[in-house]
Amino acid sequence: MRYALLLNYPEAGDVGLSDEDLAAGRAAFDEYLKALNTAGVFVSTEILQPVSVSTTVTTRNGELLIQDGPFADTKEKLGGVFVIEVPNLDAALTWAERCPAAQYGVIEVRPVAVTAQGDEWITPS
């Protein structure tokens, strides 16, 4: 079963993190990634740039609306995604618990519904 761990946390700029803080954070994520790979559950990850460079796109009744900023303006923002392949929710929750961002943010665990390979839609089993 494939799960997405959605990392929501206050952005570094908003809470004023120092370079050392960021370096420590990167080291923690480095460890986490190695652990995921060692366990053979890692599928992919994308860590996102801040919402200050985010742009939203909507079309309603054929009308295009492009706006600056994120989809929802909240204190904690979607900052990244880890996709993992594990047998069940308990295993996914254990990995979410180990994610460094769980200590200062909120990890939302969502089962993946469909993914794609080439032109093929695939339902991960």
Partner 1 sequence: MDHPELIGIEASGGTEGGGGTEAGGAGASERDRAGDRARARSLAETAARASYGRLLALLAAPTGDIAMAEDALSDAFEAALTAWPESGIPANPEGWLLTVARNRQRDAWKSAAVRTSMPLDAVPELAGGTAEPDEDTMSAIPDKRLALLFVCAHPAIDPGVRTPLMLQTVLGFEAAQIATAFAVPAPAMAQRLVRAKRRIRDARIPFAVPDADVMPRRLPAVLEAIYGCFAIGSATDPGAGTGAGAGAGADAGAEPEAGMGATADPDSLAGEALYLAETLAGLLPAEPEAAGLAALICLSQARAAGRRDTAGRFVPLDEQDPARWDAALIVRGEAHLRRASSLGRIGRYQLEAAIQSVHCARRITGRVDLAALRALHEGLARIAPTLGALVSLAAVIGESDGPDAGLATLDRIDPGAAQRFQPAWATRAHLLALAGRADEAAAAYDRAIALTTDPAVRAHLADRRA
| Residues making contact with partner 1 (CB under 8 A) | 1, 87-90, 93, 109, 111, 123, 125
Q: Which is nearer to partner 1, 16 or 87 (CB)?
A: 87
| Nearest approach, Cβ of residue 42 and partner 1 (Å) | 19
Can you list the positions of beta strands (E) in 10-123? 42-47, 55-60, 63-68, 77-85, 106-111, 115-117, 120-122
What does the DSSP assignment read for 63-81?
EEEEEES-SS--SSEEEEE
Query: Do the beta carbons of residue 8 and residue 107 sit within 8 Å?
Result: yes
Indicate the helix (H) or strand (E) that contains 7.
strand 2-9
Q: Which is nearer to partner 1, 63 or 90 (CB)?
A: 90
| Nearest approach, Cβ of residue 109 and partner 1 (Å) | 8
Q: Which is nearer to partner 1, 38 or 125 (CB)?
A: 125
| Nearest approach, Cβ of residue 87 and partner 1 (Å) | 7
